[in-house]
Amino acid sequence: MTLETLRKRKAISNASTSESRYDAILDMSEQVFANSGYKGATIREIAERAGVAQGLIHYHFRNKEELFEAMVARRSKSINGQRMHLLRALFEENGPPSLERIMEGLFRPTIEAGLSQAGDGGAFARILVSIANSAGEWEQGLTAKYYDPMGQEYISALVKIVPGLSRENAVWAYMFAIGVGMTMMAKTGRPRRLSNGICDDGDAEVMLAKIIPFISAGVRSFTKQPN
């Protein structure tokens, strides 16, 4: 029996939270990093709010950078696994899937992940937005490692199902789609301000209903364009 297995056994036997301290640290990391940013977040606060000693975080994750990456790795592998599964399932149905269903498959797992979390649901989504929009080498390294492979699959899917769409335009289409999706994931509250309370970026279902047709029309416009 590995040490990893033992750790999980102990976690399950923990009556108070039914969760290992290891996972509690990762959970709280999402909350704190989301609210304060990487530099603004402190290991002290994560430790306090997770109810563990500060030293324990260094024992499990060595330093702040590796804690952050472990947090990204855990959640991104889970969400992107769902996405890959969804995408492949779509292509195994009768006939090629519609552009709209492809796009829904791109964004829905992020929403589902948010809803199932305790506390602030969209914490990891907000972290993701800050990573994806950073030009820093480290952040782009994380994006490349945990998100580029999935991006490539979606780009290939777009080329397959949209007649006349070049790979170059499919890359732009994917980037623009992600850009629009950020509006939903960032949860800035700006739509509400700009619309006197009518448009709510906290309601993911409503946003999806707006985002999917918007992106789909944009992608199809590339069909009538050179390159």
Restricted to residues 150-209, the positions that interact with its own copies (CB under 8 A) are 151-152, 155, 167-169, 171-176, 178-183, 186-191, 193-195, 198-199, 201
For DNA, the binding residue among 9, 12, 17, 55 (CB under 7 A) is 55
d(CA 131, CA 135): 9
For its own copies, the binding residue among 51, 81, 136, 164 (CB under 8 A) is 136
Helix 3-13 vs helix 21-40: angle between axes, to the nearest 10 degrees? Answer: 100
145 binds, among DNA, its own copies, none (CB under 5 to 8 A by kind): none
Among residues 40 and 164, whose Cβ is nearest to its own copies? 40
The angle subtended at Cα 62 by Cα 60 and Cα 63, nearest 5°, is 125
Among residues 52 and 155, whose Cβ is nearest to DNA? 52
- CA 170 from centroid of its chain's CA atoms: 21
First vs last C-alpha separation in the chain: 56
Q: Are 36 and 120 in contact (CB under 8 A)?
A: no
d(CA 180, CA 62): 36
- Residue among 148, 147, 150, 167 nearest 102 (CA): 150
222 binds, among its own copies, DNA, none (CB under 5 to 8 A by kind): its own copies
Site string for its own copies, 104-133 (x = CB under 8 A): ----------------------x--xx-xx
Min dist CB 2 to DNA, Å, is 10
Per-residue DSSP letter, 96? P
The residue ranges that bind its own copies (CB under 8 A) are 35-40, 126, 129-130, 132-136, 140, 143-144, 148, 151-152, 155, 167-169, 171-176, 178-183, 186-191, 193-195, 198-199, 201, 210-211, 213-222, 225
